[in-house]
Amino acid sequence: MESKDYLKDLNEIKHLMNKSSRFMSLSGLSGILAGIYALTGAYFVNIIISNIKEASNTFESFVISYNSVLTLIIIAFGVLLLSVITAIYLSWRKAKKQNESLWDAASKRLLINFMIPLITGGFFIIFLVEKEMFTLVAPLTLAFYGLALVNASKYTLSYIRYLGLTIIALGLISLWFIGYGLLFWALGFGVCHIIYGALMHFKYDKK
Amino acid sequence: MSLIANINKAFDHRIRLGIMSILMVNEYADFNTLKELLDVTDGNLASHLKALEKEDFINIEKQFIGRKPNTRYSASKIGTKTFKDHINALERIINKQK
């Protein structure tokens, strides 16, 4: 009798603490889909790169690589854009189902804290690309994206923290494997997103 | 010490419990945020806030955002401590009865 009320009180406390400080509607399914987009993108990038490598002479390879740069950029931004749209749409659907709003104090805080490391990293990478120092691009994108996730994890589902730490580790390991950037990108943005997205989907979405 | 020594009567209501829960994990919250989160009417929320204010469990800060008056609330030191004791007491009772 009495203890049942106390248990209800505690659950209510926990629920409100989470709801008021964390954005709980983040969709796990969108993580899985983002991972699949990233792997598909990596697959096409790999085809383009091996075409460049197979070119018979330097002039031919120069022409191909010149044309390919635009395609590579389009693939990268396509994957990014598609992932963001999917995440917003699925989270909006989940929020609606749970009778919560997509744009509130919690999601604003999440976004701001996610963007701080991400924009910092973005500047670094634009600088490196401009100076044609491509070797550190893959390790740095992974490391800064991981830091952004760890920073954002205080304001959303706690699984994000472990996803972030895994991706930071991959970024650091890739420092010793310069030249395999695409492989590490595929592991970080593809495989990790799919694994953690699935974990989150089965733990939180199915309610 | 008796089990219910730290159960505080001031938190013996769903809305007051809710207000304190929200203020424990947020630096502050304004009236409308609390209203939305707790899904209560203005009058109802105001009277419960008044009750917590009377116990000195919350701090009230009135300010203007542009021309609109805005009241924001935060948990006081004593409110934080009392609420933590309250939660611990709840947990002890539940564990005892398992």
Name which of A12, A21, A105 is nearest B18 (Cβ-Cβ): A12
Distance from the B93 Cα atom to the nearest Cα atom in chain A, whole angstroms: 7
Name which of A6, A7, A17 is nearest B21 (Cβ-Cβ): A17
Instruction: Say how many C-beta atoms besides its own lie within 10 A of residue B76's C-beta.
Output: 18
A10 touches chain B (CB under 8 A): yes
Q: What does the pLDDT read at residue B23?
A: 93
A37, A83 Cβ separation under 8 angstroms: yes
Question: B31-38 and B14-25 helices cross at what angle (nearest 10)?
Answer: 120
Nearest to B73 by CA among B35, B31, B40, B38: B31
**DSSP category for residue A113:** H
Structure tokens at B61: 């800060």
A38, A186 Cβ separation under 8 angstroms: yes
3-class state of residue A101 by DSSP: coil
Q: Are residues B94 and A9, on separate chains, in Cβ contact within 8 Å?
A: no
pLDDT digits (tens, 9 = 90+) for B10-26: 888 889 999 999 999 88
Distance of alpha carbon A201 from alpha carbon B1, whole angstroms: 45
Instruction: Say how many C-beta atoms besides its own lie within 10 A of residue A178's C-beta.
Output: 12
Could you say which residues of chain B have pLDDT below 70? 1-5, 98
pTM of the model: 0.80
Tell me which of A11, A12, A13 to substitute to probe the interface with B (most B C-beta atoms closer than 10 Å). A13
Cβ-based neighbours of A166, under 8 Å, separated by 6 or more: A146, A188, A192, A196
Q: What does the pLDDT read at residue A207?
A: 58
Name which of A6, A14, A105 is nearest B93 (Cβ-Cβ): A6
A83, A29 Cβ separation under 8 angstroms: no
Distance of alpha carbon A178 from alpha carbon B57, whole angstroms: 57
Nearest to A150 by CA among A139, A141, A159: A159
Distance of CA A114 to the CA centre of its chain: 10
pLDDT digits (tens, 9 = 90+) for A67-126: 777 888 899 999 999 999 999 999 999 988 887 788 887 888 899 999 999 999 999 999
Q: What does the pLDDT read at residue B57?
A: 94
Tell me which of A8, A12, A16 to substitute to probe the interface with B (most B C-beta atoms closer than 10 Å). A16
pLDDT band, very low/low/confident/very high, at A149 (cuts 50, 70, 90):
very high
By residue count, chain A amounts to 207
What residues 13-52 of chain A have any CB closer than 8 A to a CB of chain B?
13-14, 16-17, 19-21
Please report residues of B whose CB lies closer than 8 A to that of A17: 21-22, 24-25
Q: Are residues A16 and B94, on separate chains, in Cβ contact within 8 Å?
A: no
Nearest to B53 by CA among B33, B31, B75: B75
Q: What does the pLDDT read at residue A1?
A: 40
Domains of chain B (ranges, CATH numbers)? 9-97 (1.10.10.10)
* Domain regions of chain A by residue span: 26-205
pLDDT band, very low/low/confident/very high, at A30 (cuts 50, 70, 90):
very high
